[in-house]
A and B are shown apart, each in its own frame.
Chain A
Amino acid sequence: MSEKEIAIQLKNVSKKFALFKSENARLKAMLLRKKPEKEKIALNNVSLEIPRGESVALFGRNGAGKSTLLKMITGVIYPTVGYVRVNGRVSALLELSAGFDPELTGRENIYFRGQIMGVSKAEIRELEGEIIDFAELGDYMDQPVRTYSSGMRARLGFAINASIRPDILIVDEALSVGDKIFRKKCNAKVREVLNNGTTFLFVTHSLASAKSFCKRGVVMRHGQIVYDGDIDSAADFYDRMRIES
């Protein structure tokens, strides 16, 4: 399949983390080129293809490998083995309140964060009004972010990441930020983004949320994909897995 049609491709991807008893042990192993005593296999031979425009829910218990998978897709970490290919601009709604310069104002942080995400100044200028309206921070927009509450940071983070016209949108339970009215707004915003043909990867423990946004579900366990199918079947599979555990 050509890279024009696939938004996210993982092929035979494994990720191993070396575990050491102490930092000294880590340094010693590095200098003496010794194998670590223990290895944690966070992802084990994962292969996955997500075509452009598809909306996929990613299920799994804590420690299943979901976060490692997301970090690979967003480019934070690289695989030990295998290929990870992501085509398009990725916007990840993860840890929304992180990644701001606390001394800059909310408005300045829109440019700061946008540029980190590879968006041109001209494009940010076009989107600035939309982001400010969405965040609903009023006069605080021109105050330093260090004066914001965590909820305010999360609102600004969501407004920026959801507005930059991503090709791929990744959401990790971030739709529970803010009060009920803001959450409704966030859900509507995500739907608007999806209607534009954006590829969507949604990590959630909420089966209802997953079914409302996604057509396909992938279930992970112990660093492997154990189920991949339509959302209803995937949700049932995950639900049975949870109950029997």
Chain B
Amino acid sequence: MKQKFSEKRKIWRDYARAIFLNYISGHPKLNATTYPAYFQQELGISDSHSYAKKMIRQGYLAWQEDDCVALTERGQAAIAEDYMRFFDFASPYVTIYDFLDERERMEEDTSFEATMLSLLLKQMKVRKAEGDDQSVKNIHFDIGALYEGLGYQEDALHHYLMTLYYDISGMEYYDLLVAYVAKKVSRGEAQESFDGVCVEPRVMEGLLRLKEVCTPAMLDKAFGSETIRVNLCSRKDFNALVEDIFNGAYEYDTWMDRFRANFAAMLSYYAKKKR
């Protein structure tokens, strides 16, 4: 059930306090501490020095020798593990309110991973419906990381393969292709605007860690299982790319040339359709 405004304020207060106290536990010399900018940007703590003193007044921190502070029992209890894990996970697609709401809704497994997986899968549906391929790709990667942490290697690999599938789709050129079909840009301009596609290093690392569990069926399942608005990659290319990554034979320039050629072929296809 969605939280009321007053409940949300309390949640936010508890969350910000947990992150702050956890930071201070590693940087106990208050006067010498440089507080991170994200305290203000993400947590709304505009004056960290004053906030630290407030934590002391409220009994979460206590003065020690040498101008240092330490967490009290109350302070230790305030650092909820799930808050820290949520913060460290840093997903731009879910809020702490979503997380707590989902955990309350779930009956069986209310672990951090289960809750995040449930949330991210829901978010993926929303983003797919919006046509936000970039976010869908990022969510696939996060889901892969969660599964990998839980030891579900096949599930993790599937999501890393899906991330790769999105990475090499050329989704960032959708608007350019629309402009080309609408005759707002010339063929030359469109081709010149092609800057290659980016296979993120973290995606390759994920694939390499789990390559032993990969099967041809998994590649088939990953390719074409989701509709993307643009796809620069054939099934054959996808399989060849994965093989190159697994064998340490991935050559950036060779593959960029191939994608460039695929992009040119796509432009030719649309040019024929336009006539």
Q: Which residues of A contact B (CB under 8 A)?
A: 1-4, 9, 11-12, 44-45, 47, 75, 78, 81-90, 118, 120, 123, 167, 221-222, 224-229, 237, 240-241, 244
Contact = CB atoms under 8 A, between A and B. Distances in A.
A1 B149 CA distance: 12
A89 B34 contact: yes
Contact of B34 (A84, A88, A241): A88
- What 8 A-B pairs come out closest when comparing CB atoms? A228-B201, A89-B34, A224-B198, A11-B90, A4-B26, A222-B195, A75-B37, A83-B90
B38 A86 contact: yes
Contacts of B113: none
27 contacts: A2-B22, A3-B22, A3-B23, A3-B87, A3-B88, A4-B26, A9-B90, A12-B138, A45-B134, A83-B38, A83-B92, A85-B42, A85-B90, A86-B37, A87-B23, A88-B34, A120-B31, A120-B32, A221-B195, A224-B200, A225-B198, A225-B201, A226-B199, A226-B201, A227-B252, A229-B201, A241-B253
Contacts of B202: 47, 228
Given A45-B200, A83-B42, 19 more contacts: A2-B84, A2-B88, A3-B26, A12-B92, A45-B134, A85-B38, A88-B34, A123-B32, A224-B200, A225-B198, A225-B201, A226-B198, A226-B199, A226-B201, A227-B201, A228-B201, A240-B253, A241-B252, A244-B253
A86 B37 CA distance: 7
Interface of B: 22-23, 26, 31-32, 34, 36-38, 41-42, 84, 87-88, 90-92, 134, 138, 172, 195-196, 198-202, 252-253
A130 to B, nearest CB: 17
A166 to B, nearest CB: 9
Contacts of B36: 85-88
Contacts of B172: 44
Contacts of A237: 252
Which of A3, A225, A228, A240: most chain B CB closer than 10 A? Answer: A3
A118 B33 CA distance: 9
B92 A82 contact: yes
A58 B172 CA distance: 24
A47 B92 CA distance: 12
